[in-house]
Amino acid sequence: MSEDKITFLSYEEAVKIVAAIQEEEDIHQQDRRILTVYNYDDKEICWFDFDEVMRDAGAENGKPSQSEVQDYIMRRIPDWANEI
């Protein structure tokens, strides 16, 4: 079994292509929220599980701020997003 290593864009590259991060309902799973990332052409780049991001981006004392969530996501935009 082959494992593909995921590589991410630099923060500076991500800023150039990410136009919005939108909290949405997952259309495939009821009662699940996702954070969808859009480019400047209003095309979906990728998405993140809301609960995972809140847990992983959280400040040590609780709920992460909006800027902490944005920073977390911007540092995890896959490199293939440049091709969308």
Asked if the structure places residue 4 within a domain, the reply is: no
On the question of pLDDT at 2 being above 60, the answer is: no
pLDDT at 59: 62
Asked if the structure places residue 1 within a domain, the reply is: no
Asked if the structure places residue 77 within a domain, the reply is: yes
Q: Residue 3: which pLDDT band, with cuts at 50, 70 and 90? A: low
Q: Answer whether 18's CB lies under 8 Å from 10's CB.
A: no
How confident is the model over 15-68, as pLDDT tens digits? 999 999 999 998 888 889 999 999 999 999 999 999 999 999 976 667 899 999
| Separation between Cα atoms, residue 19 and residue 74, nearest integer Å | 11
Asked if the structure places residue 5 within a domain, the reply is: no
Asked if the structure places residue 26 within a domain, the reply is: yes
Helix (H) or strand (E) holding 23: strand 18-25
Q: What is the pTM of this model?
A: 0.87
Asked if the structure places residue 69 within a domain, the reply is: yes
On the question of pLDDT at 71 being above 90, the answer is: yes
Could you list the residue range(s) of the whole structural domain that residue 35 is in? 11-83
| Separation between Cα atoms, residue 63 and residue 79, nearest integer Å | 28
Domain count, the chain: 1
Q: Answer whether 64's CB lies under 8 Å from 57's CB.
A: yes
* Residue count (the chain): 84
